[in-house]
Amino acid sequence: MTINEKQIALAIVAALGSTSALALVGGSIDPNTADSPWAGVGSITINGGIFSGVMLDSTHVLTAAHVVAGQVNTAGNVSFSLNAGVYSQTLTASSISVFTGYTGTTTGADGFWHDDLAVVTLNAPITGVVGYDLYNGSLSAQTITLVGYGGTGATVKKVGQNVVDWVLNDDDSNNPQNTIEEVYVFDFDGSNSSSNSYGGGTLGEGIEAGYTGGDSGSPVFVSVGGQWQIAGIANFNGTSNTGGPIGGGTIVSSYIPWIQEQMAAPVPEPRTWAMMLVGLGLVGAAVRSRVKA
């Protein structure tokens, strides 16, 4: 299928909010123990809304820009919770860095939004759980593992799989041959071609997973040498013109230098940070899988 055909096949794309009651069906529930491979995936809570995020290290969390962009000046409204047995804990954000190219969820010419990535710095280190490395390879045709809190609240973490059917490159370049991967898209392959919107690989009937409300900011992983690495961050789900569900998000590989820069940035002391906010006048505001017949 050509890119133009895929663009036409896209009917609806929406941010993954936290209002849906749907959850992963036919997948697995993480045991929420410290030795789970997904122990570093947590829930992000903002004014009662539940989203998802993933640890980069003990003080930094990677998530979607559209989840936290509205809280840049009020980071204290954002909390990150881990469900990891004896290491379960909730920490508040001290600062938020949104990727400089993020312009909101207005779709571009390719029908999708780009640069939807943010790093949350926590007000104290997380103990007992380590973060993940970033995947620096191509996501084209890769099998990915989805881990998030979509539709489940802040205590039940779901796990599923899918195959990347389509990779979109950088939308800011004037070079039509640009090969910098920025967005991954997958469909949900059911028992007939109407649900297989983009063709490509499939894991088989009853296996593939998709996103639902609350999965915004959740990671997708690939295994490299037996180690799970963060390959992408969930941003949207939607419906093709054939009626088949699709989902996707930001590929992290082209953003690695920016992510590392945010992780290396010094964090002001709490008292200094609060004084800065006052001085500036700023103190103030997943995954689902469908069972096929």
Q: Quick check: is 273 in a domain?
A: no
Banded pLDDT at 71 (limits 50, 70, 90): very high
How many angstroms separate the CA atoms of 13 and 244, rounded? 12
Tell me the β-bridge partners of 219.
Answer: 233
55 in a structural domain = yes
Q: Is residue 285 part of a domain?
A: no
Domain count, the chain: 1
Q: Is 290 a domain residue?
A: no
* Strand partners for 138: none
Percent of the chain predicted with pLDDT > 90: 44
Question: Residue 282 domain-assigned?
Answer: no
pLDDT digits (tens, 9 = 90+) for 205-249: 556 777 777 789 999 999 999 999 999 999 988 776 555 677 899
Select the more confidently predicted residue: 130 or 180: 130
Distance of CA 58 to the CA centre of its chain: 18
Exposed, middle or buried by CB within 10 Å (0-12, 13-18, 19+), for 206? middle
Instruction: Note whether residue 291 is domain-resident.
Output: no
Give the number of other Cβ atoms within 10 Å of residue 191's Cβ: 11
pLDDT given at position 206: 57
Q: Say if 125 falls within a structural domain.
A: yes
Give the CATH number, domain containing residue 34: 2.40.10.10
For residue 99, what are the domain limits?
A: 3-266
Query: Which pLDDT score, from 0 to 100, does residue 198 have?
Result: 56
Q: Is residue 287 part of a domain?
A: no
Question: What are 157-190's pLDDT values in tens digits?
Answer: 889 888 898 898 887 755 444 568 999 988 776 5
